[in-house]
């Protein structure tokens, strides 16, 4: 598993990992937060800090006064639950990069010496649930190479000593369906990965609803959010794009 962040940005002290630059921001999608007593959210407030899966985008700055977009968007990649302790946070709608749509985020703010995560993390099957939620909700951060997604998922299971009970092929299939070409949501990224000038980060992760809407008319109309799906089905029919029909759908449409 790789990470886009080097050790120069952090240091270890008393079983904690602390920030080693003057200022940093972490961006966690707003809709990943929830109530742990009612569901298994990817992120939630926990005591004085926030508990979340350590897969998110962040930026490092030389000063708190730096313009937000002046720093490179990076990817923090630790595929397990962490507790993090920002000195302040706010909710903002941001467009983090040209490849991403504007989204609502919790912006977590850190100064040098603030705890980014604990060095020791408790094992729990709940951590695996949260990683799966992150994937199927289409909220994986940008910047993780496509070839590292499966290894990150397997690492999450190994850290928590959990056996998924399914062959690796099933996990690969989920990833291959959720990750689409950033230029064509109808096309699974696996079909263009490594071809021409396509980089392993040139994909977009879609949630299950959007995957259904970009598969076929029948798949769209039999899923949730009927109004949105009807619009998607009409656009597919009007544009004449090739639909990915299942064997059952071919039988039913005879």
Domain coordinates of the chain in residue numbers?
Answer: 7-118, 128-252
Tell me what pLDDT residue 99 has: 74
Q: Which of 96-100, 158-162, 196-200, 204-208 has the highest mean pLDDT?
A: 158-162
Write out the two tokens for 190: 């696996």
Tell me what pLDDT residue 197 has: 86
Any bridge partners for residue 78, and if so which? 54
Are the beta carbons of 135 and 61 closer than 8 angstroms?
no
Are the beta carbons of 31 and 133 closer than 8 angstroms?
no
CA distance linking residue 5 with residue 153, whole number of Å: 19
Of 218, 217, 246, give the one whose Cα is nearest residue 233. 217
Residues whose CB falls within 8 Å of the CB of residue 189, separated by 6 or more in sequence, listed in order = 146, 176, 179, 180, 181, 202, 203
* Block residue for tokens 């707003």: 30
Residues whose CB falls within 8 Å of the CB of residue 247, separated by 6 or more in sequence, listed in order = none
CA distance linking residue 44 with residue 27, whole number of Å: 14
Mean pLDDT score, 146-165: 92
Tell me what pLDDT residue 222 has: 57
Tell me what pLDDT residue 249 has: 58
Q: Are strands 43-46 and 49-61 parallel, antiparallel or unpaired?
A: antiparallel
In Å, how far from its chain's centre is CA 20?
25
Q: Is the pTM of this model over 0.85?
A: no
Alpha-carbon dihedral 113, 82, 121, 11, rounded to 10 degrees: -20
Write out the two tokens for 118: 């604990």
Question: Residue 22: how many CB atoms within 10 A of its CB?
Answer: 14
CA distance linking residue 135 with residue 86, whole number of Å: 25
Tell me what pLDDT residue 142 has: 80
Does an H or E element contain 116, and which?
A: strand 115-118
Are the beta carbons of 107 and 90 closer than 8 angstroms?
yes
Q: Per-residue pLDDT for 200 more than 70?
A: yes
């Amino acid at each position: 598993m790789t990470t886009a962040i080097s050790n120069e940005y952090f240091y270890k002290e008393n079983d904690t990992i602390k920030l080693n630059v003057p200022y940093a921001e972490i961006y966690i999608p707003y809709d990943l937060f929830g109530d742990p007593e009612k569901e298994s959210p990817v992120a939630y407030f926990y005591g004085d800090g926030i508990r979340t899966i350590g897969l998110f985008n962040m930026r490092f700055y030389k000063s708190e006064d730096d313009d937000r977009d002046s720093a490179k968007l990076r990817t923090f990649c630790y595929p397990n639950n962490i507790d993090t302790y920002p000195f302040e946070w706010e909710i903002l709608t941001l467009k983090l990069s040209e490849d991403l749509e504007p989204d609502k985020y919790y912006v977590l703010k850190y100064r040098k010496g603030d705890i980014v995560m604990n060095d020791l993390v408790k094992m729990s099957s709940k951590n695996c649930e949260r990683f799966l939620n992150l994937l199927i909700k289409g909220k994986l951060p940008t910047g993780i190479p496509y070839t590292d997604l499966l290894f990150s998922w397997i690492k999450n299971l190994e850290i928590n000593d959990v056996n998924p009970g399914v062959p690796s092929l099933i996990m690969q299939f989920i990833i291959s369906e959720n990750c689409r070409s950033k230029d064509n949501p109808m096309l699974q990224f696996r079909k263009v990965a490594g071809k021409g000038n396509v980089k392993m980060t040139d994909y977009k992760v879609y949630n299950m609803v959007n995957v259904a809407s970009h598969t076929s008319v029948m798949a769209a109309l039999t899923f949730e959010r009927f109004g949105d799906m009807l619009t998607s089905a009409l656009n597919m029919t009007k544009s004449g794009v090739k639909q990915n029909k299942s064997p059952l759908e071919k039988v039913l449409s005879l």
